Every structure is written in structure tokens, then in C-alpha cells.
Amino acid sequence: MGNFVFKLPDIGEGVVEGEVVQWHVSVGDSVSEDDPIVDVMTDKATVTIPSPKSGVVDSLSGGVGDMIGVGTTLLEIDTGGEESASEEEVADSDGGTSDTSPAPAPAPAPAPKVPSQPSTGRVLASPAVRKRARENDVDLSTVRGSGPAGRIRHADLDAFIAAGGAISGAPPMAYSVKRTEITPVKVVGLRRKISEQMSLSKSRIPHFSYFEEVDITELESLRRVLNSTKDEAQPKLTYLPFIMLALAKIMPEHPECNAHFDDEGGVVNRQGAVNLGIATQTERGLYVPVVKHVEAMDIWRAASEMQRVSGSARDGSASLDELTGSTFTITSLGREGGLGATPIINHPEVSILGVHKAREMPVVRGGEIVVRRIMNLSSAFDHRVVDGADGASLIQHLKRMLENPALVFM
């Protein structure tokens, strides 16, 4: 029998190792060429490695969370042939032109590459999940998948079996039943990267927070007018593009807030460009895609770019360039906006702005109580390089711009 040894290929950009995020196969599984076998993460890029051969998985190297070096054996496949081979030997036999390594994905892939589904309605699931389903007499077409494009994961199959085969709508557990289960969840992949980044920011940066409320009644009126008169090619405006343009306009007067702090070198690099990171929640975790050179954009371009990079982050197609280079970050909790927060600065930046849900509120104007539309802002600054007065000055300047939105365009 032939035994094909497949090693972690060179996935580019100077990568020397990757973290195993998810195996899509188990020992004993049958795989076809190009079936997804493993997700490997390098920095913020996740690559789905496809199988170079068809056969039966004979062995795997490394568990979820393990680091695997380029050139290290990933798995061995029994191809059923008469001779053993490795990927290097296969490449040599093709004159050195065959490359079994996939192109590096600059951003986490939304889902493993899978063969096109036949017209019989075959559901998306890895060979390992299919094998377990067969062993447990489970029809996968009755299982609801939680993965990308409805892909069925091991957890979905576990939940289905535990529920006795119920698809959905199971009655809630009675309050009188004690729940004592403990579910360990290994911190790997993007969640590990987020954990490391947040620990770095909080351990190195002495944060100070500043809160303010803004009357955006006039801004709301302007937003409605612009949306009602836009053409079909222009995006619908939210509040964020106005905030982005306002920040870009006022940053030259607050250069200490649009900077990177090289705390190892003891240098604050004040940035001329206003590259705004837009914190974006995705199914895979929190990403910060970047809208670059907002200072050179109009409101429509800013809105379009924000939607484009945020959409790319959500569907996993964002490039590495779109995920790096921010000089100031905006985080918006949207409908979950709350009244305030203490956002964590995106190291090595020195400032971050939190935007909360706008709401109708009674306020006093001219000695009378009137209803106005109010939005709360939360901000945090690196107190090593931004004094309290400077951070407050930026937010107060932003408040004036948003309460008098014509200033944004002057």
C-alpha cells in the first residue's frame, strides 16, 4: 500500500509555523483530493489546507492549538498504491512545477473549501462528522449546522444526539433541574490572538477614559435628507461616516491622539494619515478592518469604504493590508450600545472612541423641556502620551462638529 506523507507547505509572507485551529478529518477517514483537511492560523491569517491526495487518513500530527513548523509532517494518507511518496517527491516527478500548498489567505477564511454539493441535497460536513453520523445512525439532513453556509460541526452532531434527535424547538430545561456541567473551551486561533492583544494593551497602556453625550438631532435630520436624495450607487448613510469625517477634519489640531507609541524605543510617531480602524464583530471573533486616508474622502466614499472593509472582515475575504495600519480605532456597539463602556486601546495606537446607540431623550433647551436625539460617546487614551485635557479636547471638538454637522463639510 502507498503511504503519502504530507508536510505543512510554505504559505508565504515569511511564515515559518502555524497554529492548528481545526482538523476536518480524523484517523481512518476517507478523503478525496482537495477535501479540506485542516485550518492553520498564522498571525491573523487562517489558511484552509486541502488534501493533496485521495485515500484513507493514516495518522495526524498535532492537536488543536499546537504550533506546526513549515516542512513538518501534517498527516499521512494511505493512497492504496504500491509505492510510498511525499509531496516533495510528487513535485519532483512533475518537473518541480507542482505546488500542493494553497495560496495564503490574507484574512481568516469564512469556511473550508468543500467540493460542490450534488443535486441530491448532500449537506456540508467533514468526513469525520459523516463517519460519526453513520456510526450513530443519524441522517445529517435532519441536523442543523452552525458553521459557515450551514456546515455541520461535531458540536452540532453532539447537540443533536444529546437531544434525542430533536431538530429544534425542544422545551427549555426546568428551573428545578441543577446544571453542573463544565465545558472546557481551549483558547486557540483568533480567540488566542485577541486574548494576547488585549493583554498586551491592558498590561502596557495606562488607560484613562472620558465620557460625553452629544445632541445629534441636527445630524439625524441631515442624514435623513442625504439618504432621501442619494442615487442608487451611493450607500445608505449611518452615523459612523459623519463621525469618521469629523475625526479626519479635526485630527491635525489633536496630533497627539492620532499616533502610535513605540514604547520599546520611547518614540511617539504622530501620523499624518487618518486611518480609522472599525471594530467589527464576526462569526470568528473581533476584527478591526481599516479605512485608510479618510482625510481624503467625502461622506459617500467613507461610507462605501467602511461597508466594504467591514463586509470583507465578516465574510473572511479581507486582505492583510485591510486589517493593518490603523492610527485610531472606532468601536460601535450598535443596537446593544448601552450608556457607556471603557474600550481597550488597539496597541500600538494611543486612542479609541466608543459610539453608543442614539435615543430620544428629554433635555432642557431655552428653559423648556424638549425631546432631542442623544448619543453617548466613550473614549480611552494612553495616559503616557495623551494628557487628560488633550483627550477631553478631542472629544469636545468632535461634539461640536456633530452637533453642528455643517462644520463637517466646511
> What does the DSSP assignment read for 187-226?
--HHHHHHHHHHHHHHHH--EEEEEEEEE-HHHHHHHHHH
* Average pLDDT over the chain, rounded to an integer: 85
Is the pLDDT at 100 greater than 80? The verdict is: no
d(CA 234, CA 298): 12
H/E stretch holding 21 reads strand 17-23
Is the pLDDT at 147 greater than 70? The verdict is: yes
pLDDT of residue 80: 78
Portion of the chain with pLDDT greater than 90, in percent: 49
387 is catalytic: yes
Is the pLDDT at 105 greater than 50? The verdict is: no
Question: Which are the contacts of 94, defined by CB distance < 8 A and separation ≥ 6?
Answer: none
315 is catalytic: no
Name the residue with higher pLDDT: 132 or 97: 132
Is the pLDDT at 199 greater than 50? The verdict is: yes
pLDDT tens readout for residues 328-381 = 999 998 777 789 999 999 999 999 999 999 999 999 999 999 999 999 999 999
pLDDT tens readout for residues 374-410 = 999 999 999 999 999 999 999 999 999 999 999 999 9
d(CA 229, CA 36): 47
Q: What mean pLDDT is predicted for residues 53-82?
A: 85
Q: Are 330 and 244 in contact (CB under 8 A)?
A: yes
pLDDT of residue 66: 86
Catalytic, out of 139, 158, 298, 387: 387
Nearest in space to 354 (alpha carbons), one of 270, 284, 277, 274: 277
Strand-pair category, 351-355 with 328-332:
parallel
What residues are paired with 381 via a beta bridge?
208, 351
Q: Are 358 and 374 in contact (CB under 8 A)?
A: yes
Name the residue with higher pLDDT: 176 or 66: 66
d(CA 191, CA 183): 17
Nearest in space to 289 (alpha carbons), one of 257, 331, 252: 331
Burial (0-12, 13-18, 19+ Cβ within 10 Å), 188: middle
pLDDT tens readout for residues 271-303 = 999 999 999 998 888 999 999 999 999 999 999
Portion of the chain with pLDDT greater than 70, in percent: 85
Q: What mean pLDDT is predicted for residues 171-191?
A: 75
Query: Where do we find the cell 510554505?
Result: 10
Strand-pair category, 280-282 with 36-42:
unpaired
Which CATH number fits the domain 189-409, given the four candidates 3.40.50.970, 3.30.559.10, 3.30.1490.100, 1.10.357.10? 3.30.559.10
Which CATH number fits the domain 3-162, given the four candidates 3.30.70.3270, 3.30.450.90, 2.40.50.100, 1.10.150.20? 2.40.50.100
pLDDT tens readout for residues 206-233 = 999 999 999 999 999 999 999 999 999 9
**C-alpha 376: how far from chain center:** 25
Coil vs helix vs strand at 222:
helix
Domain residue spans of the chain = 3-162, 189-409
Nearest in space to 66 (alpha carbons), one of 22, 26, 19: 19
**C-alpha 81: how far from chain center:** 42
Catalytic, out of 154, 207, 293, 383: 383
What residues are paired with 45 via a beta bridge?
42
Q: Are 292 and 275 in contact (CB under 8 A)?
A: yes
Name the residue with higher pLDDT: 121 or 370: 370
Is the pLDDT at 169 greater than 60? The verdict is: no
d(CA 147, CA 156): 9
Q: What is the 3-state secondary structure (H, E, C) of 137-149?
A: CCCHHHCCCCCHH
On whether the pTM is more than 0.85, the answer is no
Coil vs helix vs strand at 196:
helix
d(CA 31, CA 78): 10
d(CA 226, CA 236): 9
d(CA 168, CA 18): 37
Which of the residue ranges 121-130, 134-143, 344-353 has the most confident prediction, judged by mean pLDDT? 344-353
Secondary structure percentages of the chain, helix, strand, coil, to 5:
30, 25, 45
